[in-house]
Chain A
């Protein structure tokens, strides 16, 4: 079965610094990949997705992610962190072996320091 690993349950950056949240998946077949963001006491919102085509995907709020098949990675980046980026971020993959149902990573809480 598919699995998703997010390195670092907590990441702390200074305002204006680069944000890098790591995600690795296990699959021998290129899957569909998603990043979601969850603000306190809210549901998950889609940041971006990779399906096919261009491996660098741009999302909302200045975030982007690059699909690297050779590294089975889909890391999320933002050049300059803003206080409003503080939230929990989830990487998810469609599990082709389980009817394309989503498998989520454990999440990474991003803290932005002023």
Chain B
């Protein structure tokens, strides 16, 4: 039972390079989320998708774009990577609707550890 799968697990980029982080879930969830985790700051929401074909900004969207390719997949793109984007990125999903968690817990992938030099 895979749950939420993220690829790659690790990546090192140079400033200005671009890359896409991939996320797929096999739980038939409506909502998907991208977070970044930085020491002492918990998790901060970058973007979310309440349903297939819809996306919306979270708390820290600058420098990122997302695509909800289908119900299973939600990708995060860094167009021009900056050292400030060095972080651990987590994808999550849940059965909540309207972009909200409500009382439905989110299920997390194992993260992508991204370093930008």
Contacts and interface: CB of A to CB of B under 8 A. Distances in A.
Nearest to A93: B101
A4 B42 CA distance: 10
Contacts of A49: 103, 105
Interface in A82-114: 90, 94, 99-102, 104-107
Contacts of B48: 101
A104 B38 CA distance: 12
B99 A34 contact: no
Nearest to B40: A106
Contacts of A101: 45, 48, 58, 99-101
Interface in A45-66: 45-46, 49, 51-52
A110 B34 CA distance: 25
A17 interface: no
Contacts of B41: 106
A11 to B, nearest CB: 15
Most buried by B among A45, A52, A90, A94: A94
Interface string B73-103: 0000000000000000010100010111111
Contacts of A41: 110-111
B100 A34 contact: no
Contacts of A43: 4, 90, 108-111
Contacts of B96: 100
Interface size class of A (residues with CB under 8 A): 20 to 34
B19 interface: no
B22 interface: no
Given A44-B108, A90-B42, A100 B90 contact: no
B69 interface: no
A94 B100 contact: yes
Nearest to A45: B108
Contacts of B105: 34, 46, 49
A9 interface: yes
Given A41-B110, A106-B40, 17 more contacts: A4-B42, A32-B102, A36-B108, A43-B4, A43-B108, A43-B111, A49-B103, A51-B103, A90-B42, A94-B101, A94-B102, A99-B98, A100-B96, A100-B100, A104-B42, A107-B40, A107-B42
